[in-house]
A and B are shown apart, each in its own frame.
Chain A
């Protein structure tokens, strides 16, 4: 899932302090799971803003809501009834949701309330780590289910490099070497012969190197 962290409160305060009617829009999708932008976080942020406005002597209105997913127009449409009444919206969705909300309500000021970080896993509550960079051409079948693009700091296709030391990456002793993980996994699977065949250069046009990406599935379109 997409992982995000809440923006510092002072940064959000700086964005909305001059408005009188603000909507905090949470998203019940990925950001709820990593406790950065669901309904609960929307309530906490809205409450903090109300306390700030009140002690600052302001007559302001801060409401909170959330929709199932801000990356779908149908759910964003649920906000349409009262949207005109707000001066600004703080979206607690990932960058995708913030942009789509701004796109759907294009005359509305929309601010991000979280910093979107990566696609990753929940190692435990409060600990998330990256697993996929959406390069558009998955090679996990060849690397024992461990992605060298996401897990190797250099995105090497034929690792490990000389910076691998006792299973750790040279960038930090807390970061496992992606290629060490691949080696150990292939050893467990009895597929170490994989290292005897160098991997061809990767086609990066399906990644960001090809510009903004789009999927059109004619079999799904109505």
Chain B
């Protein structure tokens, strides 16, 4: 389709959004991500029945956490698309990129402090 979307997006593929854990999203912010979106299948169309519904709840939990720790829950969002909606995907990436640009860099990037992560990385 050769659709254009902003190049400052890093795509991480997972077999199902049900694999995306709260910890994965928080780690992205710990490593300095300005925003994260989770893009799953349409609700009701999950190959594993409810993976995208689990993801939706986890994204909402991360929103709450980010609000409470001063990062802002607006920086994370969930979208539901089918594999035939490439055009909409490009639009969403543009939308979220513009939104994050409006919000500015993550407070983690510009922060003077640094709370260290343990050496053994969390991967669950």
Contact = CB atoms under 8 A, between A and B. Distances in A.
Tell me, yes or no, whether A binds B.
yes
Interface of A: 9-10, 13, 39-40, 43-44, 46-64
Contacts of A63: 118
Top 10 nearest A-B pairs (CB, nearest first) are: A53-B115, A50-B115, A52-B69, A55-B107, A47-B26, A57-B113, A58-B113, A57-B112, A60-B115, A51-B69
B71 A51 contact: yes
B108 A64 contact: no
Chain A contact residues: helix, strand, loop or mixed: helix
Interface of B: 21-23, 26-27, 29-30, 64-66, 68-71, 107-108, 111-118, 122, 124
B122 to A, nearest CB: 5
B111 to A, nearest CB: 5
Contacts of B27: 47
A120 B23 CA distance: 28
A56 B68 contact: no
Given A47-B27, A51-B71, A59 B122 contact: no
A58 B116 CA distance: 10
Given A40-B124, A43-B124, A56 B114 contact: no
Contacts of A60: 113, 115-116
Nearest to A56: B113
20 contacts: A40-B21, A40-B23, A44-B23, A47-B27, A47-B30, A47-B122, A49-B69, A49-B115, A50-B30, A50-B115, A51-B26, A52-B69, A52-B115, A54-B30, A54-B108, A54-B113, A56-B70, A58-B113, A61-B115, A64-B118
A2 B89 CA distance: 45
Contacts of B22: 44
